[in-house]
Amino acid sequence: MINKPLALLVVPPVYDFALFDLFIKPYSLLKLGKVLQDSGYRVDLVNALDYREQKSIERLGRPPRKSNGTGKFFRQITDKPGILRETVAGTPARDYFRYGIIEEVFAERLRAREPDVVLVSSGMTYWYPGVQEVVRIIRKSFPRVPVILGGIYASLCTEHAKKLSGADFVVSGSAFPRLVEILASLSLPVPRGGHHEEMLLYREISADAGVIRINRGCPFNCSYCASWHR
């Protein structure tokens, strides 16, 4: 039905010195997507880490992948953030990369349809430039569309994310309860409570390898880890 609100799920590109896919899957984001779909939303996914994207293959070549679902992503050398420009004496300078589909295709996909709400995932804390890229593109095309950021960076560096990500809402820890409050405040349909363990399935995410969660959290609480931010 055309009058259903549209939720856009976004997996940002990664900025890092190295990245290898050992089953990197946006599990929590796709779980939230399923909850939203079951609550009357249309759901789109834009995945910067799609390693099958055709224009990126034409420009950068096909990333080497293994039949077990692991492998490399598209990558392009990019400028290092200021703090990483100086090399420690005696260590070789290393290239810094943007991992993901080419920017032009990524931006096209983000702008394809105006959403009612955008949910952005985040991984390692120092990958925040990828989050900033997403928010910058969304803001330019859809300045009034609310952007909600969750995930590991949002949980471990919440204040940094509030100041620098550009997102309207930064969710720390388990996203579901806060998501309900945020959607209610935006007068959007609110998901029902209960157990939400199913995730949306997309070929580009799950064709080579799937993901099953067999436990949640950890009995320890190392300060640098997001496991215990539940």
Binding residues for ligand SF4 (CB under 6 A): 218, 220-222, 225, 227-228
Distance CA 135, CA 217 (A): 29
Nearer to ligand SF4, 37 or 227 (CB): 227
Nearer to ligand SF4, 1 or 222 (CB): 222
Nearer to ligand SF4, 13 or 123 (CB): 123
What is the smallest separation between the CB atom of 126 and ligand SF4, expressed in angstroms? Answer: 16
What is the smallest separation between the CB atom of 137 and ligand SF4, expressed in angstroms? Answer: 32
Using CA atoms of 183, 28, 168, 155 in order, give the dihedral in degrees to the nearest 10.
Answer: 120
What is the smallest separation between the CB atom of 221 and ligand SF4, expressed in angstroms? Answer: 6
Distance CA 199, CA 194 (A): 15
Nearer to ligand SF4, 59 or 229 (CB): 229
CB 119 within 8 A of CB 26: no
Task: With H, G, I as helix, E, B as strand and everything else as coil, classify residue 77.
Answer: strand
Q: How many residues does the chain have?
A: 230
Question: On the CB side of 27, how many CA atoms lie within 13 Å of its CA?
Answer: 13
Nearer to ligand SF4, 96 or 228 (CB): 228
What is the smallest separation between the CB atom of 30 and ligand SF4, expressed in angstroms? Answer: 21
What is the smallest separation between the CB atom of 11 and ligand SF4, expressed in angstroms? Answer: 22
The DSSP bridge pattern shows strands 147-149 and 169-170 to be: parallel
